[in-house]
A and B are shown apart, each in its own frame.
Chain A
Amino acid sequence: MSAADLMGPTDEATTLPRRKKRDWLFGIGLTIVVVVVILAAIGPWIAPYDPTAVTPRIVEPPPSLGEIPGLLWGSITGTLEHPPHWMGTDASGFDIFSRVISAPRIDLSIALAANGLSLLVGVLLGLLAGYYRNVATGLLMRVSDVLQSFPVFISAMILVALAGRSTVNIIIALALLYTPIYIRLTRAEVMSQKVRGYVEAARAMGNPELTVALRHVLPNSLAPALIQASVTIGFAILLTAGLSFVGAGVRPPTPEWGLMISTGANQIILGEWWPSVFPGIAISLTVFGFAVLGNALERRYDGG
C-alpha cells in the first residue's frame, strides 16, 4: 500500500509536454498490465506444477545462470526427471515459479472486483450527491467523510480479520474503503457538468430529470472516476498483499504474492532470498505498470 494515491491528479500544466517522448514508458506499463491480465487468465494452466501442491524438494535455490541453458534444453527435449524449479522452492516445497504466475488470478481478481464494485456504487452515489443537493445527499457526504478519515490499512485489516479471511470479504472491505473516493470525484465532476449548456438543452427538450442525469450528465462525468480506477487497481494489489503479509489476508496455501513474500520473510535473514524476492518483483512491476497506465490516462484526459 502506498501514499501516492493521496496526491491527487497531476496538474496538467506541469506535466511533460510532448506525448511522443514518453511513449516507451507507456509501452512498458501497457506491456506489464497485458502480461498480468494474460497470466490471470491462463497462469494456473501453464504453470509447470500445481501451485498448491508440495514437491519433495524443500528450499531448493533457483538454478544459477549457467545452468539455465541446459535446463531449458532438457525441458524441451523432455530428458529431465521433473520440470525445473525456475525460481526455486520454498520452505514447504511449493514451486515458486508456478505460484508467482498463478497469483495474478487472485490478486488481480480482488483488485478488479473491489474497484468495479466501488466504482459502480461510488459513481451512482456521486451522481446523486452532485445532481440533487439536499439533506439526504448532505448526510451521504458526511458519512463518506467519516469513512474517508479511517486509516485505510488498519480499517481493511479490521474488516477482513473480523469478517473472516476470505477473498469475498477482502473485496467487500476494499470496495467499502474506496467508494468515498469515487463519490467525491464524480460529485465534483457532476457539479461542474450540470450547469453546462447541453444539460440545459436536454432539459429544454422535455427530458425528465432522471433521464437528464443518467443519459446526459453521467456519461460526461465518468472520466475522473475511471482514471482514478486505473491507479487504484495498483494500490488495491498492494493492499491485498500487505494484508496477507500481516496475516489478515487470504489463507495459505493460496497462491498470492503478499502471502508468498510473508512466508519467505523468515528465511531472508538466513540468506534464502528467493521465496520472497520473486513474488516481490512481480508486485513491484505490476503496480508500477498500473501507475504508469493511470498516469498516462490522466494526462491524456487533462490535455483534452
Chain B
Amino acid sequence: MLVRYIATRLVIGVAQLVGLVIAVFFLIRLLPADPVSRLVGLNPSAEAYAQAERQLGLDRPILTQLLHYLGLAPEEGPGLLQGSLGISWVTGSPIVEEIGRHLPVTIELITLSFLIAFVLAVPIGMLGALKPGGKADRGVFIYSLFAGSQPEFWWGLLFVYLFFFTLGVAPPPLGSLSPLTSPPPEITGMITVDALLAGRPDTFVEALHHLMLPVATLVFILSGPIIKMVRQNMVRALRSDFVLYAHCAGLPRWQVARYALRAAMAPSITLIGILYGFMLGGAVLVESVFSLSGIGQYSVRAVLSFDYPAIQGVVLIITGISLLIYLALDLIHAVIDPRVAY
C-alpha cells in the first residue's frame, strides 16, 4: 500500500513540476521584457539585434523553443529530459553547473540556521506551553509575533553595524571567506564541510566566523514561527488524554513532559519542512546583505539581467526541492500513521 502511495505522490509531483515548467516558460515570455536588447546594449544595429536573437534561439516559434527546452527535440541539443537546464545567456555556461555551485551555499546557510533556531525554540516554546496564559507565555508569544514579522535584511544590516563596525567581532559582510583565503577544494560546495574534508580547521573556523551574522539574522527571523508552532503543539499535547492518563498513572513529571514533547514534535517537523522549502528561495535578502553567493543571489542576478534559462532553472530547482521535501514529510507521516496512505 505504501509503495502505491509513494508512486501516486511521485506521479502527482512530476505532473505538478511539468505544469510549473510550462507555466514559467510562458509567463516570462508573456511579460513585456526585451531580453535581446538587454544583451546587445543600447541602440544596436538591426543586424546585431537579429543576430543576437538568432543566437538565443528567440527567432524560432515559441512552441519549438518549448519543445527544445523540454528536451523533446533532441536534434537541437539537450533539454530537460536529457538533464540539461540550458545555457546561461549571460555567462554562456550550463545552468545546471551554475546552480550546482550556488545551491550548496544556501543549503549550508539555512540548514545551520534551522538547526540553531530549532534547538533554541524547543525549550522556549515549552516554557510558554507549561503555563498557558502566564507571564512567561505572554513574553514568548509577543516575541514570536515580533520576530516572525521583521524585515530580515534590515536586521542583517543592524547586526553588521553592531558587530562589525562598532564591536569589531564579526568580519565585514563580503562573502563566505576573506578574499585572501584560498577556498578549500570543492567537494560538497559547502565551505565549512569542504574545509573539514580538506583537513583545514583554520579555514573551517573562518567560514563559521563569516556565517555568524547571516545565521544569527536567520535564526532570529525563523525563531518566531518555530517557537509559535512548538508552543502550540506542546499545549495541545499537554492537554491530551494520554498525558492526563500518564499523570493519573503516577508517572514523574519529567517523564510525562517527555511523552508530550514526543507527541508535539511530529506536527512540528512537518511545518519545519515546509518552512525549509520556503527558505530556499526566502534567504535571498540575507544572502544579498552578506554577499553570499547562494541560489538567492544567483536568482537576483538572473532576473535583473533577463537571463531566461537561468530564471527557469532556479524556479524549477527550488520548487522541485520543496516538492521533494513535502513528499518526504508525507512519507514519514505515512510510516508513523498508516491511515494517511489509504
Contacts and interface: CB of A to CB of B under 8 A. Distances in A.
B285 A163 contact: no
A241 B282 contact: no
Nearest to B15: A142
A162 B31 contact: yes
Interface string B18-29: 011001000110
A149 B319 CA distance: 6
Interface in B140-171: 141-142, 145-146, 148-154, 157-158, 160-161, 164-166
A2 B304 contact: no
A2 B150 contact: yes
Interface in A151-185: 151-155, 157-159, 161-164
Given A4-B148, A13-B235, A161-B304, A271 B161 contact: yes
Interface string A88-102: 000000000000000
B222 interface: yes
Contacts of A277: 158, 161
A170 B278 CA distance: 21
Contacts of B151: 238, 241-242, 258, 261, 280, 283-284, 287
Interface string A5-48: 01100110110111001100100000000000000000000000
Given A248-B300, A268-B165, A287-B149, A14 B232 contact: yes
A292 B152 CA distance: 18
B294 interface: no
Contacts of A248: 300, 303-304
A153 B148 contact: no
B315 A151 contact: yes
A93 B32 CA distance: 34
Nearest to A16: B133
Interface string B304-317: 10100001001100
Contact residues of B: prevailing secondary structure: helix
B175 interface: no
Interface string B268-292: 0001001100111110110011000
A79 B164 CA distance: 40
Contact of A151 (B133, B158, B319): B319
A301 interface: no
Contacts of A86: none
B20 A149 contact: yes
B122 interface: no
Contacts, number: 192
B140 to A, nearest CB: 11
Contact of A6 (B32, B275, B289): B275
Contact of A284 (B150, B228, B288): B150
Interface string B174-214: 00000000000000000000000000000000000000000
B323 interface: yes
A119 interface: no
A149 B322 contact: yes
B94 interface: no
B299 interface: yes
A154 B232 contact: no
Interface residues of B, number: 69
A269 interface: yes
Contacts of B315: 150-151, 154-155, 158
B71 interface: no
B138 A16 contact: yes
B225 interface: yes
A159 B278 CA distance: 18
Contact of A269 (B148, B160, B288, B304): B160
Interface in A191-246: 234-235, 238, 241-242, 245-246
A234 B161 CA distance: 26
A173 B315 CA distance: 16
Which residue, A21, A152, A271, A288, has most C-beta atoms of chain B within 10 A?
A288
B280 to A, nearest CB: 7
B161 A268 contact: yes
A146 B20 contact: yes
A98 to B, nearest CB: 20
B153 A261 contact: yes
B236 interface: yes
B221 A3 contact: yes
A21 B134 CA distance: 10
Nearest to B174: A269
Which residue, B278, B289, B304, B322, has most C-beta atoms of chain A within 10 A?
B278
A83 to B, nearest CB: 27
B133 A6 contact: no
A4 B225 contact: yes
A284 B147 CA distance: 10
19 contacts: A2-B149, A6-B271, A11-B236, A13-B239, A14-B231, A14-B232, A16-B132, A146-B19, A149-B16, A150-B319, A151-B318, A159-B27, A234-B149, A242-B151, A248-B303, A271-B161, A271-B166, A277-B158, A287-B150
Q: Which 6 A-B pairs have the closest CB atoms?
A: A151-B281, A4-B148, A280-B154, A162-B31, A162-B33, A291-B149
Interface of B: 16, 19-20, 23, 27-28, 31-33, 132-133, 137-138, 141-142, 145-146, 148-154, 157-158, 160-161, 164-166, 172-173, 221-222, 224-225, 228-229, 231-232, 235-236, 239, 271, 274-275, 278-282, 284-285, 288-289, 296, 299-300, 303-304, 306, 311, 314-315, 318-319, 322-323
